[in-house]
Amino acid sequence: MAGAFKETKFPADAPASTKAVGWIDDRFPLSKLWNDQWGKYYAPKNFNFWYIFGSLAMLVLVLQIVTGIFLTMHYKPDAGLAFGSVEYIMREVPWGWLVRYMHSTGASSFFIIVYLHMTRGLLYGSYRKPRELIWLFGFAIFLCLMAEAFFGYLLPWGQMSYWGAQVIVNLFGAIPLIGPDLSLWIRGDYVVSDATLNRFFAFHVIAIPLVLLGLVAAHLIALHEIGSSNPDGIEVKENLGADGHPVDSIPSHPYYTVHDLFGVSVFLLIFSTVVFFAPEMGGYFLEYNNFIPADSLKTPPHIAPTWYFTPFYSVLRATTSDFLNVVIVAVAAYVVFVWLKSRLSFKTKVVIAAIALLCIIGMLPGMLDAKFWGVVLFGSSVVILAFMPWLDHSKVKSIRYRPDWHKYVYAVFFASFVILGYLGTQMPTPGYTILSQVCTLLYFSFFLLMPWWSSWGTFKPVPTRVTYHGH
């Protein structure tokens, strides 16, 4: 009968493990999944250390899920009990302090790894055609991580957790018409309270992780369908050997298995050092104010989000009423530049000019206040990353073959991002505010001017085969 079940036959002396795997393969494509996703997945042979952060991100994701499960066994999502339950985990639960520190250090490690992973994508053009969807899945993962970290940050119910959530949620109130109701809906109350803690706990433990796991799966499936990029920006699938595999690729297992295991070993050494000797990392990983129970009647002198949010928080804080005058001039100049230098259609230019005009009118005195535009720039500084595949008009993908002065453009961008991150952890002063405004302009200029500067200069010839030097 067609479609009848046929079980794989093995020799009588075959190892028990082989028979077990064969029994599973007859009922579930275990070996096929392993071979497609890693075992026989061919990757470019010239990967360098920049390509290790994807596997490290997977490791930390598993670490966060496992430690999070153990923490929820003793944590109580109740405004009157939350802080005490965290202290109970730290002091009374066997090895609870280790699990909690692994989870808190893992959160910061996750963002460090993801930022480095995104840096590799920027340097080697991993977002360029045909990998636009891979980049968009990765961007969605980044948004989920930000949401997961934000919701989880309130759970210790410390002073900084409480007031940080209060400030961030209040930002949504700056949105015209729906802002106040939206803030109320997010909090579940008129102030951050037990209702807020319960819904944040539900999002942090159930909702966001489910979405995150789905996006990670989509990211990996899309990656292995198209193929990995490489430092040279060459499509290795365009040069196949007699065996049907790219001549410049090697099987991920065992070659990159060993490569990644070495990276994992180095990471775990650094991670363990932080967990055991400096889990607070000078107040950057765990703020000292968060070891004080939340008090709705006592505001900390300086409220700031965790370090991985501070670059974008600095953009928000830099948006003052005086700075809006500079933004108005910058927007007008950008529209003129687009009309004179862009090859866009006349209709598209008109749409851009109309949107810019509406923004300029909204920034005029007496119209929408600076807080609203701060939220707009705050959100735009994150969302603009998603448009990288369409902003970069370079003739080559990798920075290796771009004009040398492009490296300085990237250096200025990375420096601006780091400075914004540092300023977000500091008390605002007039000098710091001006510096953050300059860095904000540099940050947005990198992206908005990319269609032009990315195509200028003398590009180096790209080789037909990947450049590889054996170790």
Task: Consult the annotation and say whether 74 binds a ligand.
Answer: no
Q: Rounded to an integer, what distance in angstroms lies between the CA atom of residue 254 and that of residue 261?
A: 10
CA–CA–CA angle 268, 283, 156 (5° rounding): 85
Residue in 447, 403, 388 with CA at minimum distance from that of residue 120: 388
Q: Rounded to an integer, what distance in angstroms lies between the CA atom of residue 122 and that of residue 388?
A: 9
Task: Consult the annotation and say whether 469 binds a ligand.
Answer: no
Contact 155, 84 (CB under 8 A): no
Other CB atoms closer than 10 Å to residue 177's CB: what's the count?
7
Q: Rounded to an integer, what distance in angstroms lies between the CA atom of residue 265 and that of residue 215?
A: 26
CA 304 to chain centre: 19
- Those residues with Cβ within 8 angstroms of residue 121's Cβ, 6 or more apart along the chain or in another chain: 127, 135, 138
Encoding tokens for residue 329? 């001039």
Q: Rounded to an integer, what distance in angstroms lies between the CA atom of residue 314 and that of residue 301?
A: 17
Residue in 206, 212, 107 with CA at minimum distance from that of residue 156: 107
Beta bridge pairs of residue 158: 293
CA 350 to chain centre: 34
Task: Consult the annotation and say whether 117 binds a ligand.
Answer: yes
- Those residues with Cβ within 8 angstroms of residue 65's Cβ, 6 or more apart along the chain or in another chain: 209
Beta bridge pairs of residue 293: 158
Task: Please report where in the chains the tokens 């496992």 appear, as a residue.
Answer: 66
E strands within 23-159?
42-44
Residues annotated in the binding site, as ranges? Answer: 103, 117, 204, 219, 224
Residues annotated in the binding site for a ubiquinone, as ranges? Answer: 224
Residues annotated in the binding site for heme b, as ranges? Answer: 103, 117, 204, 219
